[in-house]
Chains A and B, each alone.
Chain A
Amino acid sequence: MTTLRTTDTGDVVVEELLPAEVLPEHLASGAAARRAAIRQAAGRTLGRRRTATRASHVLCALSVGICLVPLVALLAYTTARGIHAINLGFFVHDPTPPGIPGGGIRNAIAGSVLIVGLGALMAIPIGIVAALFLLERRGRVATIVRFGADVLTGVPSIAMGIFAYALLVEPLGHFSALAGCFALAVLMLPIVIRASESAMASVPVDLREAALALGARRSRVARSVVLRGAMAGLVTGSLLAIARAVGETAPLLFTTSSDLFNLSPLQPTGSLPLTIYANGTQAFPEAQQIAWGTAFTLLVLVLLLSIAARIVAGRLARGSRWANSRSKR
């Protein structure tokens, strides 16, 4: 009969023993003691394992808690302060001079829509076409473009602002919405390129080759197969780029800065982030109230855009199945 025995140092050794019945009385009781010792040692190991698992579980759950506290506090506080500031007039009035109540952020909303809209109009077509280039071309130029997109993603957004300042503000002599939307377009470009490229790469090569074999031109393949198959991914990428751009302050600070309501691309224009910055850094409670209201508006806008991007991306997963069943028919 084989038995395990624990030494004083906690190691387990294997021992050959005679069957219990043939053992003399005093040795049999020794075997029982050993069995108890083994049980105790095993209990200790199991206990250690259980404690370590529980401790790690608690620590990791605690870190989730610590992580959520500031994030949820930020959201809750902005919402609580922002909702107080918001009424219908907040969205349809222009800001009033300091001390006069009832100011709104119509100028900032219009300005943000103008700047981000124009920026998206510049960035999204160029980005998608550049992604098509990457899809159909391997080689040095493609490597440069891909590397450039990677590098540009890591460039701090203030650099885009200073770039647009040197390129468009200094020659024109004044701030303009155009300079701001150019800065945002540069910011959005790499996001659009990378998202579009991965969306297009997910269209099966078989489909493209099948279209080519049917005699379709490459432009036709791009339009009817690649762009159509990657549509959900393209929309997701563009929405995420817009969501990122609409909240950026640094590129607009030295390019569009203004308080005026304006719809002309060549004039200075207000925007949501700059309204938050300008009002939030003042000591007057009224100005801070406007800053909170604007921050809440911006937060809701960005979250809606991100959720929309998520929903489209979710449809992408279901859409591919749908495309398969349709191609079978």
Chain B
Amino acid sequence: MKVFDQGGEAVAAPALLEEVPPEHRVPVAGVREAIARHRARRGGGTYTALRWLGASVFVAVLLALVVTLVSGSSEAFRHSGLSFLWSGTWDDNRKVYGAGIFVVGTLVTTFVALLLAVPIGVGSAAYLSEMAPCRLAQPLSVLIDLIAAVPSIVVGLWGLLVLVPLFEHHVEPWLSRLPLLGHLVFAGAPLGSSLLLASVVLAVMILPTVVALSRTALSGVPVADREAARALGATRWQVTSRAVVPSARSGIEAAVTLAMGRALGETIAVAMVVGNRVAMPHGLSTTLLAPGATLGSAIITTFGEATPGLQRSAVIAVVVYLLAISVAVNAAGQILLRRRQRQRSARVAA
């Protein structure tokens, strides 16, 4: 872009104007002012301010969230020390606070939920993406994507009013009669509300997520890979198990990690079916039929009655603990997802 004076003679491009030594500069009316106006329009202005405002409001909210929760929990952490993280006693009367039971409950329910949901979910995704006829796969995929949006409170209500009686009278008595598992994993009286039921409810909640995300990962594998495997004589199953699934592995891992994050952080549906037993009478028990508590359900059941001060601070400490665990898991999931995207873009480039 050139700047012309009124006589039509070129003066200089605005960017070059600075480099012209002062003695060679020709005074031209209005050019400097025009350049200044131009700069003001580009650099400053309400638009830039607005964008910075949006970004800084977001960062401020994020910081406020972390600072509020951490400062709210500091009293409990000072009181109990780091043993808060694993100590298994939660007693308001003796003012002893430890989140150990809740962590164990969270880990157990999440693990069992993944154990139930991942094989079924990945198998379903493989069927929908690789084997099912299109006329069947299309509507089923849409259905499962839609079910992923079902609010957790609805799943919780269904678990509480339908699954609790079902488990109490049919499923849990049957499980406790199993030869070996009945004494190890499924021992004890069938009460309905239990760690097992919480795991099942969590599994139902994360299933659509696992299926939807793994299906996306599987169908993202290039058709050429499948055709190459077919051309080498692989059967449809060999194509799926040896070409498609390994290629989509990090995507499936990301799906599982994100589902795990959802299971870890779920509160309301678990609180409705887990039994909410805050105290462990005889230390840790190995049976899944016992009622228990998770970090999320413990927050819901204890925060309402907590008096301000140490008691409330202890609950907020549980929130911080839960926050740290789920953020770590989700960050791992995001990293896996990024790696997959990078891999794919690298392949496209190659």
Q: Which residues of A contact B (CB under 8 A)?
A: 49-50, 52-53, 56-57, 59-64, 66-68, 70-71, 74-75, 77-78, 125-130, 132-134, 136-137, 141-142, 144-145, 148-160, 162-163, 166-167, 186, 189, 193, 217-219, 222, 243-244, 246-250, 253-254, 273, 276-277, 280-281, 288, 291-292, 295, 298-299, 302-303, 305-307, 310
Contacts and interface: CB of A to CB of B under 8 A. Distances in A.
Contacts of B55: 129-130, 133-134, 141-142, 145
A132 B57 CA distance: 14
Given A145-B55, A244-B149, A273-B151, A154 B304 contact: no
Nearest to B137: A64
Contacts of B300: 158, 250, 253
Contact of B161 (A137, A154, A280, A299): A280
Contact of A56 (B51, B208, B237): B237
A64 B128 contact: yes
A193 B123 contact: no
B176 interface: no
A280 to B, nearest CB: 4
A295 B154 contact: yes
B334 interface: yes
A218 B42 contact: yes
B99 interface: no
A157 B265 contact: yes
Interface residues of B, number: 86
Contacts of A56: 237, 240-241
B59 A145 contact: yes
Contacts of B64: 163, 167
Contacts of A186: 61, 65
Contact of A276 (B62, B128, B153, B261): B153
Contacts of B261: 154
Interface hub of A64, A70, A150, A307 (most chain B Cβ within 10 A): A64
B151 A158 contact: no
A52 B237 CA distance: 7
Contacts of A151: 62, 327, 330-331
A291 B51 contact: no
A219 B238 CA distance: 54
Most B Cβ at <10 Å: residue of A148, A163, A306: A163
Contacts, number: 248
B127 A63 contact: yes
A150 B254 CA distance: 14
B16 to A, nearest CB: 19
Given A57-B131, A129-B50, A186-B65, A154 B157 contact: no
A127 B47 CA distance: 15
Contacts of A150: 330-331, 334
B288 to A, nearest CB: 18
A243 B151 CA distance: 9
21 contacts: A56-B237, A57-B236, A68-B140, A71-B204, A75-B147, A127-B58, A129-B50, A129-B51, A132-B54, A144-B59, A154-B327, A154-B333, A155-B327, A156-B267, A218-B48, A219-B47, A273-B268, A292-B157, A295-B157, A302-B150, A310-B142
A89 B241 CA distance: 55
Nearest to B155: A74
B69 A64 contact: no
A154 B326 contact: yes
A210 B83 CA distance: 61
Contacts of A276: 153-154, 157
B326 A156 contact: yes
Contacts of B319: 158-159, 162
Contacts of A53: 235-237
B316 A49 contact: no
B14 to A, nearest CB: 14
B51 to A, nearest CB: 4
A175 to B, nearest CB: 12
Nearest to A74: B158
B158 A78 contact: yes
B157 to A, nearest CB: 4
Nearest to A307: B146
Contacts of B266: 156
